[in-house]
Amino acid sequence: MRRRKTTCPLTLWRTQDPARISPAEVLRLAKLVATIEILHERRWKAARTGDAAAAAAVAIDHLHGRASRTRLTDVILGNLVVRAFGGDATAGVIIAHALETLGRLDPSDPAPTQLARRWRAAPAFHAAMHGSGSSGARVD
């Protein structure tokens, strides 16, 4: 019997097609993000508890001028996965931008650019799949 490869939930934004991310994975990610504190980031509590503007601001500030991916990037963008599955269209756009940046840094790897396209389409996908834009998993 083959086991499904387990992915760290924090990396879902850069490893999984959003159409293949399950509500259970989003819930697992939300629970993990809820336990993480970011030192010296006063907006983080609001960002991880559902404030879309704070989540976007934290992510944009973190990504600005950054040329590499870090665990902190995974935490911040992982939070945006939760927000995107909760109906925040901006979250998917920011994830797509981050992936496009990764794609430009390593043009030999087409995966980030392909995932970016899928994340740009994700808000419409979630609205169509779930009516209200919610994943069905309570993540607040």
> At 3, is the pLDDT very low, low, confident or very high (cuts 50, 70, 90)?
low
| Helices and strands of the chain, counted as H and E runs | 7, 0
**pTM of structure:** 0.84
Per-residue pLDDT tens digits for 32-70: 999 999 999 999 999 999 999 999 999 999 999 776 789
Can you give the pLDDT at residue 140? 44
User: Looking up tokens 């797509």, which residue turns up?
Assistant: 96
Can you give the pLDDT at residue 138? 41
